[in-house]
Amino acid sequence: MHIENIKLINYRNYDKLQIKLNKKLNIFIGNNAQGKTNLLESIYICAFGKSYRAAKEKELIKIDKDKAYIGINVRWDFIDKFIEIKFEKKRPKRIRINKIEIDRMSDLFGNLNVVLFSPEDLKLVKEGPSNRREFLDTEISQIKPKYRYNINRYSKILKQRNNLLKSVQINNNKLKTIEVWDMQLADVGSEIIKERIEFIEKISKISKNIHKNITDGIEELELKYMPSFNIDCELSKKEIKETFIKVLNKNLSKDIEKGTTEFGPHRDDIKININGLDVKTFGSQGQQRTAALSMKLAEVELVKSEIGEYPVLLLDDVLSELDLKRRKFLLSAFKDIQTIITSTEDIDVLNISKEDKKVFYVSKGNIVNV
């Protein structure tokens, strides 16, 4: 798949923009705060329905305007998708696919698949479990849209259970309904856990091979799923559900005391090891960066294996973070898929022919193709 055209109106610092992309390599060059990342963000939003940067959607609308628009033409092997998102300050965003407005966010997933790698992705390795859970949830949702529905449903059930735990501290009679919420939480939670187990198993194999290639076989990367309670990864969804219910029952008194649910997929993590050592604790910054890169590039191959087409690869100002060897590996490994790169400087693009690339210069919300 590849993006053919992007149209922006009153989006961030863009008044009106319409550009045609190359099917392979696209490089956007400019100083900081000129709009390069805004462009990648607009593509990401068309894939996931939300920004990876903005806390509030009204931040996406140009300061002196009331509305903003993103339109992207996506070309698959046999079909075209036209994704439109309209933002207004006084009403929820509206999303249309091929001119038909969708009612559920899950209907957006799978129409455009992207993998984003930015300097922020170092948090995937360096910081807390929430960053790794977000990685899991975002990437599984791309290849299995129902997963995002389950995540949203789980969050709502969890909130209801936690509210009940707090109210039980005041009125013990309400404890009678806890079993209902436990059953629902375990039912949806077991589906999430099973999907995560399968995802980690697949992406671990791919990222291990990529990491070996980047490091000339010196380092071995291993990803291990770390559920919040002890389960055998070979268990069926039904067996995971039964185990989950037992854990909830066993820890009920502690949950009531704390007013929150201590076990479940909302507490899961991924352990990332290089040569058997936890890279978060013992890895150098270079190793941490390479581990994050390997995991992100593994997503590209996994999406291809699951849906039959490569996703669009977005590289937001990361080449400057990589040494020449890793930069060359990255660009050569995915030279045949659509890649969109932002950079503050002219970069080495391995003497790629003019037909296979486009170079754009970005300045104050204006883009010029040279």
Helix H or strand E encompassing 46: helix 36-48
Residue 209 assigned as binding residue: no
Bridging pattern class, strands 339-343 and 312-316: parallel
Residue 22 assigned as binding residue: no
- Residue by residue, DSSP assigns 187-198 as HHHHHHHHHHHH
Residue 275 assigned as binding residue: no
Q: Is 348 exposed, middle or buried (0-12, 13-18, 19+ CB in 10 A)?
A: exposed
Which distant-in-sequence residues (6+ apart) come within 8 Å of 279 by Cβ? Answer: 125, 272, 273, 287, 288, 291
Bridging pattern class, strands 14-20 and 2-11: antiparallel
214: left (phi over 0), alpha (psi -120 to 50) or beta: alpha
Residue 32 assigned as binding residue: yes
Q: Using the 8-state DSSP alphabet, how is residue 61 labeled? A: B
Residue type, 202: K
Residue 286 assigned as binding residue: no
264: left (phi over 0), alpha (psi -120 to 50) or beta: left
- Residue by residue, DSSP assigns 298-350 as HHHHHHHHHHSSPPEEEEES-GGGS-HHHHHHHHHHTTTS-EEEEESS----T
Q: Using the 8-state DSSP alphabet, how is residue 220 labeled? A: -
Q: Say if residues 220 and 205 touch (Cβ distance below 8 Å).
A: no
Q: Say if residues 339 and 315 touch (Cβ distance below 8 Å).
A: yes
Buried b (16+ CB within 10 A) or exposed e, 197-233: bebbebbbebbbebbeebbeeebebbbebebbbebee
Residue 259 assigned as binding residue: no
Residue 64 CA to chain centroid, in angstroms? 30
Binding residues for ATP: 30-37
Q: Which residues are annotated as a binding site?
A: 30-37
